[in-house]
Chains A and B, each alone.
Chain A
C-alpha cells in the first residue's frame, strides 16, 4: 500500500514536470525575455521556440528514430549501449571508491591521529573541480601506459568517478563505526574481544544503517563523475561523450541531446536502485532503526 502510494507520488512528480515544460513552451515568449541595453542584454526568461525547447513528444519520437539517419539503429538503442558502457565504468569507480573510503574510515576510527591528519584533506579533496582534476589523472594514466603499465583510458574515468564516490563512504562509515553504544563497547571489552573481533561482530554491523545512504550517494556520485570525466578527457563510447556530441548538433536536431540526457537519468536511477537491492539483503542490520 505504502509502496503504491510512493510510486503514485513519483508519477505525479514526473507529470507535473512534463506539464510545466509544455505549459511554459505554450505561454512563454518565443525569443525569451531579454532585458538591458543593446550589447549588454540579459536573458531573463529562456526561449521557447522549437529549436530551444522541443516538445516532449518530439523527444520521444527522436528516441525511436535512427541515431544519425539512414540505416543506423534507433537513438534509444545507441543511448542504451552508451549508458551500459558508462554504467560499467561507474561501477568500477564505485567499487574503488567504496574500497578506499572504507579503508580510510577504518583507519580514522582506529587512530585519532589518522583522523586529525586525514579528515581535513578528505573534505578539501571534494573542493577540487573535477574538470581540472580529470586531465591530470588522464595524463598520469597515459604516462604509466607509456612506461609499460596497463592503464586503459576508461580506467582513468573510473578513477575519477571513485574520487567522487569515496567521500560519502569515508564519512558515513566513520560515523557508523563510531555508532555502537558505550554499553556494547564495554561488553566487547568484558569478552576480551580484540580490535578485529569488535570490528566484525560489532562495529561493521552497527555501521550498516549509516553505510547504506553513503553507498547510495556514492553510486550517484560515481555516475556523475563518470559522465563528467568522459566529457573532460574525451573518452568515446560512453553517454557523456554522446551527450556533448549531440548537443553540438542541437541547432539542427534539437530533440537529439535529450536522448542521452534521459539515458543519464536512467543510469543514475539504476545505480541507486542497485544499492537499494543491496539494502534489502541487509535488512536485519537495520532493525535498530525501528526499535530506537
Chain B
C-alpha cells in the first residue's frame, strides 16, 4: 500500500459525476452528483439495493458508458484514455470466458490483442494461472470447469495486463456460499500481492465488510452515494475475522447506513 506517498495519483477520482439514460418513457437519472476518490492500492466496495447505480458507476469508470456530467479521471487521465491505455482490468458476474478457447488462451486474450510476444505471453499466463491456483487446468476448456474455477480464470484474465486498478461487478454473485468465501480470501491475497486498487460492486454486506478498506453505500431514485463506511481490518483479513465481534460491528454499521437509520432488532419492537 502506498499510504506514505502524498503525491500518489489516485486510482479513481470522480466529482459531481452523473448519468442520465434516455429511455422510451423519458429520461432516467441513473446516477447523480457522485464524489468519490479511490486511492492507489485501496479496496473500495460499492453496495446498495438494485437501481442504486453501483454497476453504472463501475461502467463509467471503465468507460463502457460515458458520464453525462461531472469529471471522472482514472490515474489522473480521462476514463476514455485510461481504457485505451489498459489501466484497468475488469470482471463481471458471469465469467464471460470464450468457450472455444482453453483456460490459457482465455487468460492470454488481452495480451494477444495488445500484441505481446508469444514467449512473454506464455510466461505471463503461467504466472497468472499459478496466482489463481489453476496451473493444472490451463489446457481445459471453460465447459470443463466449475463456476468458481471459471470466475478465477476471469480474474486472472482481468489481471493479465498487470493493471493497477481492478473493476469487479458482483464477480461472486452467481456462486455458492462456500466458493464465495474461498474466492473472497483469494481476492484479498491477490489484491495484496499485485498492489492493485479494487472497485468492487456487491450487494452482500458481509462480503463488502470482509474485503474492503472502505464501503461506499449507495441509494436509488436517483442513484447516489449516501455514506462511506471505513473498515479497520487492513492486514488481518483471514477466516478468524469472519467470526470476530469487530467484524459484526462493522456489518451492523454498513446495514444501518444502508437503511438510513439504526436497525431495530426484532426483540426491541
Which residues on A are within 8 Å of B, measured CB to CB? 181, 183-184, 186-187, 189-193, 197, 201-202, 205-206, 208, 284-285, 287-288, 290-291
Q: How many residues of B contact A (CB 8 A)?
A: 21
Q: Say which residue of A186, A205, A290 sits within 8 Å of B143 (CB atoms).
A: A290
Q: Which of B107-115, B178-186, B258-266 contacts A (4 or more CB under 8 A)?
A: B107-115
CA distance A186 to B92 in the complex (A): 10
| Minimal Cβ-Cβ distance residue in A for B160 | A191
Q: Say which residue of A190, A192, A197, A202 sits within 8 Å of B98 (CB atoms).
A: A202
> With A201-B113, A202-B98 given, is the CB distance from A291 to B143 under 8 Å?
yes
Q: Say which residue of A181, A184, A284 sits within 8 Å of B141 (CB atoms).
A: A284
CA distance A192 to B89 in the complex (A): 12
Question: Considering residues B83, B98, B114, B142, which has the most beta carbons from chain A within 10 angstroms of its beta carbon?
Answer: B98
Q: Say which residue of B84, B86, B112, B142 sits within 8 Å of A201 (CB atoms).
A: B112
> With A190-B64, A191-B114 given, is the CB distance from A183 to B96 under 8 Å?
yes
Contact A205 B92 (CB under 8 A): no
Contact A192 B86 (CB under 8 A): yes
Interface check B210, CB cutoff 8 A: no
Residues of A close to B143: CB separation below 8 A: 287-288, 290-291
Q: Say which residue of B90, B94, B141 sits within 8 Å of A287 (CB atoms).
A: B141
Contact B94 A288 (CB under 8 A): no
CA distance A285 to B98 in the complex (A): 9
In B72-112, which residues have CB < 8 Å from any A CB?
A: 83-84, 86, 88, 90, 92, 94, 96, 98-100, 109-110, 112
Residues of B close to A184: CB separation below 8 A: 96, 98
CA distance A290 to B141 in the complex (A): 12
Contact A183 B92 (CB under 8 A): yes
Q: Say which residue of A187, A193, A208, A288 sits within 8 Å of B90 (CB atoms).
A: A187
Contact B100 A285 (CB under 8 A): yes
Contact A186 B64 (CB under 8 A): yes
In B101-145, which residues have CB < 8 Å from any A CB?
A: 109-110, 112-114, 141-143
Closest 9 CB pairs of A and B: A291-B143, A183-B96, A288-B99, A287-B99, A285-B100, A284-B100, A192-B84, A190-B90, A191-B113
Question: Considering residues A190, A193, A284, which has the most beta carbons from chain B within 10 angstroms of its beta carbon?
Answer: A190
For the complex formed, measure the closest distance between the CB of A180 and the CB atoms of chain B, giving whole angstroms. Answer: 9
Interface check B62, CB cutoff 8 A: yes
**Listed A/B pairs (19) with beta-carbon separation below 8 Å:** A184-B98, A186-B64, A187-B90, A189-B64, A190-B64, A190-B83, A190-B90, A191-B114, A192-B83, A192-B84, A192-B113, A201-B109, A201-B113, A205-B100, A206-B98, A287-B99, A287-B100, A288-B99, A290-B143
Residues of B close to A197: CB separation below 8 A: 113
Which residues on B are within 8 Å of A, measured CB to CB? 62, 64, 83-84, 86, 88, 90, 92, 94, 96, 98-100, 109-110, 112-114, 141-143
Contact B99 A190 (CB under 8 A): no
For the complex formed, measure the closest distance between the CB of A35 and the CB atoms of chain B, giving whole angstroms. Answer: 60
Question: Considering residues A183, A184, A191, A290, which has the most beta carbons from chain B within 10 angstroms of its beta carbon?
Answer: A191
Question: Considering residues B62, B99, B113, B142, which has the most beta carbons from chain A within 10 angstroms of its beta carbon?
Answer: B99
CA distance A287 to B99 in the complex (A): 6
Residues of A close to B86: CB separation below 8 A: 191-192
| Minimal Cβ-Cβ distance residue in A for B89 | A190
Residues of B close to A192: CB separation below 8 A: 83-84, 86, 113
CA distance A125 to B8 in the complex (A): 64
Contact B100 A288 (CB under 8 A): yes
Contact B99 A291 (CB under 8 A): yes
Q: Can you add 14 more A-B contacts, CB < 8 Å, to A184-B96, A184-B98, A288-B143?
A: A181-B96, A183-B92, A186-B90, A189-B64, A189-B83, A191-B86, A191-B114, A201-B113, A206-B98, A284-B100, A287-B143, A288-B99, A288-B100, A291-B143
Residues of A close to B114: CB separation below 8 A: 191
Q: Say which residue of B62, B88, B113, B142 sits within 8 Å of A291 (CB atoms).
A: B142
CA distance A206 to B88 in the complex (A): 25
| Minimal Cβ-Cβ distance residue in B for A197 | B113
| Minimal Cβ-Cβ distance residue in A for B59 | A186
For the complex formed, measure the closest distance between the CB of A96 and the CB atoms of chain B, giving whole angstroms. Answer: 28
For the complex formed, measure the closest distance between the CB of A289 and the CB atoms of chain B, giving whole angstroms. Answer: 9
| Minimal Cβ-Cβ distance residue in B for A194 | B113
